[in-house]
Amino acid sequence: MSKTKERIIRFLLLIMILIISPQLRGIIDTGRLPEADIREYMLRVTPIGTSIEDVVKAIETHRMWELSHVNEQGYRLNRGMHSYDSGGHVGVMSIGAILSTHKTFLIIDTVVVAFWAFDEDSKLIDFVVRKEYDVL
């Protein structure tokens, strides 16, 4: 094979890799898993009993997660559109984070949010994950 053909093939392979690589992120992004699977994974990363400081460290060290808030109360039980005033809270403190943002079917923005609830000793007692969708 001539050097020119070999360079063209290498160039085309490089272009293909550059085109395909963003799609590969979607394959390995835990945010694209079902909520139950994400919860199972997250409880392996931050098991029940983990301190609030260690949860914050885990969030900060993960390159795709973004700490959104630390709350002086637990997370709300009912998080429907009209239910912010009803229902109780889980825990006495909570942390929220964005685990993933991606497009579903090219037109639906999907945000995967997580909430960790802590007891009065700042130990993890519960974790929930939720996917929020926004159609443009």
84 within a domain of the structure (yes/no): yes
Per the structure, the count of domains in the chain is 1
How much is the pLDDT for 81? 35
122 within a domain of the structure (yes/no): yes
1 within a domain of the structure (yes/no): no
Q: Decide which of 16 and 114 is more confident.
A: 114
How much is the pLDDT for 80? 42
4 within a domain of the structure (yes/no): no
31 has a pLDDT exceeding 60: yes
pLDDT band (50, 70, 90) for residue 56: very high
Per-chain mean pLDDT for the chain: 80
Give CA separation, 113 vs 9, 10, 13, 36, 110, in Å.
42, 41, 36, 13, 10
pLDDT band (50, 70, 90) for residue 105: confident
